[in-house]
């Protein structure tokens, strides 16, 4: 019920544009690493200093105007330059709908190709984030197309989808981030029960750890993390075959603790003014995240 409320709020266009005008109020500051590249790079440097790498998301999604998608692409190209000129340990996370997937398939393909080519020149990896079900297949198709030329591209498998098991086998050769899934999906395409999603999540992680190239386990769930630690030990999977990932601002002590234990760790760094949809999805996943709002408001 609460989850549905926040998912619906995340798609509200009027509130989204209002939120951009109001700035980083309502607690978004604690989970968004700045509104511009300079602020974001400062956050990345601080996190890198703790032995943690970063994946950078220039916030934005569900763009329906070509000009807006072009501006997003230019901004992401500027992020590529900033990663290189500051020599930070970071790669990119990109949502296809931000750079035109809802406008025109070829337009999005061209935009993403340009970004992947620019990143490739500096040896920077590009992760294509996965969005809701209607964007899944076209996103995979674009990745397939680009990977004919470039190898610095990977993507995400969302464990709530029934098709995830087939996808993980098909995309076994990619560097994959495995998540539970953040969007509201219908019972025709996705598990609805948390227990089913959690079970499938573990199955997919184990499969890719055993058979894949490199696995990013992206979760705040300590049960899953503890299971993975045990699994890699029992199966002699070396640390350079996987990493843990969490979102900026969440479970900071656990993030730092895992890095100190010697695991590869990567923090997902969202930045920019278009934070509203991202923030609402975090509230949908875990209404307790509202605590972050309260802290932000009262700690001013």
d(CA 110, CA 122): 19
Q: Is 135 in the site for ligand FAD (CB under 6 A)?
A: no
Decide: 287 and 59 in contact? Cβ < 8 Å.
no
Q: Is 180 in the site for ligand FAD (CB under 6 A)?
A: yes
Task: Report the DSSP beta bridge partners of residue 93.
Answer: 127
Residues 6+ apart with CB under 8 A from 138: 96, 101, 105, 108
Estimate the crossing angle of helix 105-121 against helix 66-86, to 10 degrees. 10
Closest to ligand FAD by CB, 35 or 289: 289
What is the distance, to the nearest Å, from the Cα of residue 66 to the centroid of all Cα atoms in its chain? 23
Burial class of residue 203 (count of CB atoms within 10 Å of its CB; 0-12, 13-18, 19+)? middle
Nearest Cα neighbor of 218 from 176, 262, 174 is: 176
Closest to ligand FAD by CB, 5 or 23: 5
Q: Is 181 in the site for ligand FAD (CB under 6 A)?
A: yes
Decide: 96 and 131 in contact? Cβ < 8 Å.
yes
Shortest Cβ distance from residue 164 to ligand FAD (Å)? 11
SS3 37: helix
DSSP summary character for residue 172: T
What is the distance, to the nearest Å, from the Cα of residue 35 to the centroid of all Cα atoms in its chain? 18
Q: Is 296 in the site for ligand FAD (CB under 6 A)?
A: no
Instruction: List the one residue from 242, 250, 263, 278 that touches ligand FAD (CB under 6 A).
Output: 250
Instruction: List the one residue from 183, 263, 276, 279 that touches ligand FAD (CB under 6 A).
Output: 183
Shortest Cβ distance from residue 265 to ligand FAD (Å)? 10
Residues 4-33 touching ligand FAD, rule: CB under 6 A, are none
Q: Which residues are catalytic?
A: 129, 177
Q: What is the 3-state secondary structure (H, E, C) of 197-218?
A: HHHHHHHHHHHHHHHCCCEEEE
Residues 186-245 touching ligand FAD, rule: CB under 6 A, are 218-221, 245
Closest to ligand FAD by CB, 236 or 288: 288
Residues 142-161 touching ligand FAD, rule: CB under 6 A, are 156, 158
Instruction: List the one residue from 7, 90, 179, 283 that touches ligand FAD (CB under 6 A).
Output: 179
**120 φψ region: left (φ > 0), alpha (ψ -120 to 50), beta (else):** alpha
Residues 53-72 touching ligand FAD, rule: CB under 6 A, are none
Closest to ligand FAD by CB, 98 or 219: 219
Shortest Cβ distance from residue 236 to ligand FAD (Å)? 25
Shortest Cβ distance from residue 146 to ligand FAD (Å)? 17
Segment contacting ligand FAD by CB under 6 A, of 8-16, 18-26, 179-187, 271-279: 179-187
Q: Is 268 in the site for ligand FAD (CB under 6 A)?
A: yes
- By the criterion CB under 6 A, which residues form the site for ligand FAD? 129-130, 156, 158, 179-183, 218-221, 245-247, 250-251, 268, 285-286
């Amino acid at each position: 019920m609460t989850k549905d409320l926040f998912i619906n709020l995340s798609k509200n266009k009027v509130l989204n544009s209002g939120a951009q005008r109001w700035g980083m109020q309502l607690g978004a500051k604690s989970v968004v690493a700045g509104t511009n590249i300079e602020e974001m790079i400062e956050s990345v440097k601080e996190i890198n200093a703790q032995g943690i790498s970063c994946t950078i998301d220039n916030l934005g999604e569900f763009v329906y105007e070509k000009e807006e998608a072009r501006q997003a692409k230019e901004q992401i190209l500027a992020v590529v330059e900033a990663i290189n000129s500051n020599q930070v340990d970071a790669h990119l996370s990109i949502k296809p709908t931000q750079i035109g997937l809802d406008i025109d398939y070829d337009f999005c393909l061209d935009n993403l190709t340009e970004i992947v080519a620019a990143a490739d020149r500096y040896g920077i990896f590009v992760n294509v984030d996965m969005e809701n079900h209607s964007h899944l297949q076209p996103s995979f198709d674009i990745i397939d197309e680009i990977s004919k030329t470039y190898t610095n591209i990977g993507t995400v498998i969302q464990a709530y989808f029934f098709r995830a098991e087939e996808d993980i086998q098909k995309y076994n050769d990619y560097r994959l981030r495995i998540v539970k899934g953040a969007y509201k999906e219908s019972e025709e395409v996705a598990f609805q029960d948390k227990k089913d999603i959690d079970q499938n999540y573990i199955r997919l992680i184990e499969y890719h750890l055993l058979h894949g190239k490199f696995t990013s386990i992206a979760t705040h769930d300590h049960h899953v993390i503890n299971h993975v630690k045990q699994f890699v030990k029992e199966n002699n999977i070396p640390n350079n075959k996987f990493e843990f990932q969490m979102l900026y601002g969440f479970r900071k002590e656990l993030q730092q603790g895992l890095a100190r234990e010697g695991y590869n760790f990567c923090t997902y760094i969202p930045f920019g003014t278009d934070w509203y949809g991202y923030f609402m999805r975090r509230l949908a996943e875990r209404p307790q995240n509202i605590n972050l709002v309260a802290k932000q408001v009262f700690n001013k």
